[in-house]
Amino acid sequence: MVEISTLFSLAGKTALITGGGRGLGKAMALHLARCGADVWISGRNADTLETACSEAISNGLNLHPLVMDVSKLDTIRTAFSRIASETRTLDILVNNAGDETLRACDDVDEALWNRLLDTNLKGPFFVAQQAARLMPDGGSIINLASLTSAAGVAKAVPYSASKSGILGLTRSLAVEWAPRGIRINALAPGYFHTDMTDTFFRNDAWREKMLAGIPLARFGLPDDLAGPLQFLCSTASAYITGQVLYVDGGTLAAL
C-alpha cells in the first residue's frame, strides 16, 4: 500500500507556472515550492517576476524567473531553451497565463480577438508542446479553464471561446500523449478576486449578483486551489487524464 505522503509528494519535481508572477499563478507557484518542487515562474514583465521571487525568498522559498510572452512563439522557444539547458527535465506545467476583456460582440475587433485567443489558447498549446519534449513518463500538464468553459457569459465571447477551446485542447492532448506517460487535465476556477478580475469585484452590484449564485456563499481564495492543484500534479492522480475539475463553490451545480 502506498503511503499518503508519497502519493501527494512533489519533492524533487521541476515545475513551470506561466503567468506565475502575480495573482493565482503566484499563489500556485508558492504552494508547489512549499511542497518541495523546484519552481519556475514565467511572465512578460521581468520586474513583476523579480518581485514574486523576492516574496518567495522572504518566506523561505525559491522561485526561478523566466521572461516569456505566451502569445509569441519565438519567446516560448527562447524560454524553453533556457529551461532545457538549466534543468533538462520538466515534470509539471501549469498553463495559467491568461487575459480577459469584456466587450459587446458588435464592438469586438480582430485585434481583441487575436490577443485573447493567442494568449488563452494558442499560447497554452505551444507551451505544452515545448514542455512535453522535456517531460519524462509521469509528467503532468494542468491547463487553466474557466466557468465560461461550460456556461455562456454576455460580453465575453472571445474569452469564452478561448476557455471552451481549452477543454478540447486538454482532452485531445490527453489522448495523444497518454502513450508517452504524460497526463493533461484542467482546473477551472470560479469567482476569485485577482488583479485581472479586480474591476468586477469593485462593482458592488456585480459582487452581490455573483455571490447569490454560489452555494458555498463565498468567493474563492487562493488556498482553495492548492489542494486540487497538488492532486493533479502528483501521483495521487496517476490514473486521471483528460478531465476538468471545477473549483467554483458549487456555482455550476446550481445553474
Residues 6+ apart with CB under 8 A from 215: 249, 250, 251, 253, 254
Q: Is 159 a catalytic residue?
A: yes
**Residues in contact with 125: Cβ distance below 8 Å, sequence separation at least 6, in sequence order:** 169
Report the distance separating Cα 54 and Cα 165, nearest Å: 35
Considering 159, 191, 239, 246, which one is annotated as catalytic?
Answer: 159
Helices (H), 40-88: 46-58, 73-86
Tell me if 242 sits within 8 A of 236, measured CB to CB: no
Locate 244 and state its grid cell: 476538468
User: What are the grid coordinates assigned to 242, written together?
Assistant: 483528460
Active site residues: 159
